[in-house]
Amino acid sequence: MADARAVLTHLGRFRDGMMPLLNRRLPDVRFIESGTSDVLVALPTDQAQLSKSLTPAVRWVHVLGAGIDGFPLDAVGDRIITCSRGASAPAIAEFALALMLAFEKQLPEQWVTEPPDTWNYARLGSLRGKTIGVLGLGAIGTEVARLALAFGSHVVALRRSSKPSPLEGVELVARLPDLLERADHIVITLPATKGTDALLGKAAFAAMKPGVNLVNVSRGAIIDQDALLVALDDGTVARANLDVVDPEPLPAGHPLYKHPRVRLSPHISWSAPDTMNRTIEMFADNLHRYEKGEPLHGVVDLAAGY
């Protein structure tokens, strides 16, 4: 590197949380916010400032996260860009399974604070035998599928590439409607790209099985939120579990805050005791690879946008 142990950083509002982890994992690296380095480690929080950080000296950019939407990809040029793809997959998959289980087991609706009308009786659902539709079969989607299979669910998945399923027991479908019309639960784990913007719109909701449970742990822009509200009101979507929305945060008074069939969380599905450390570890491993001239993990396909 131009300075063998200097790495340029652009972490925005996450600086105070990420810098101690970076310093602890890589004590022999000098992290700088300005100056010269051919390595930039960043979070895509401010496109204008990120573009300024992409100085001519920078040859490799690592994004501390799985999604690179929000990064000024048009300014990358011939640089290599990687991300911590898969670091948050275990946490996000557990969150998605928790939301599906809560739907089937009617939680928290079944909790009682006084004697109920009936005791020892309920009509609860089960994931066993249900069809889970996974949109996107990357690291997160694969982990969702693995957990769903362990619960006895049938898993159907749609992926952009023609690669075979990484898991035995997952049925791949070629068309979005083929998944939507069969799924009891739909889990969105797709990246945000031009091709996935508003992918679930009016036509997609019309193709869904009535009473479906929708889980979005990916990006809010993948769902047309106006069309979703219609589908919630007409019963097509029995529940929408949204960890991501568009924009983030939603403005005060937005109907998704109050809709009785919406469970809204503030983009926290990634949170787990080891997620941050796993994220930093992927960068540290890539930094050592970069210095040795070895192939990097998590290389982003600029044409595909992820």
| Active-site annotation, residues | 219, 248, 267
Give one DSSP letter per residue of 76-138, joined into a string.
TTT-EEEE-TTTTHHHHHHHHHHHHHHHHTTTTTT--SS--SSSS------STTPEEEEE--S
- Which amino acid is it at 24? R
Task: Assign 3-state DSSP to the chain and report helix, strand, coil percentages, each to 5.
Answer: 30, 20, 50
Total count of residues recorded for the chain: 306
B/e letters for 201-239, b = 16+ CB within 10 Å, e = fewer, are beebbeebeeebbbbbbbbbbbbbbebbbebbeeebbbb
Cβ neighbour number for residue 263 with a 10 Å cutoff:
15
| Continuous H helices in 136-292 | 139-150, 176-180, 202-207, 225-233, 255-258, 275-292
Nearest-CA neighbor of 96 among 222, 280, 272, 236? Answer: 272
The residues that bridge with 81 in the sheet, in sequence order, are 61
- CA–CA distance, 140 with 136 (Å, rounded to integer): 8
Q: Which residue has the tokens 């939301």?
A: 99
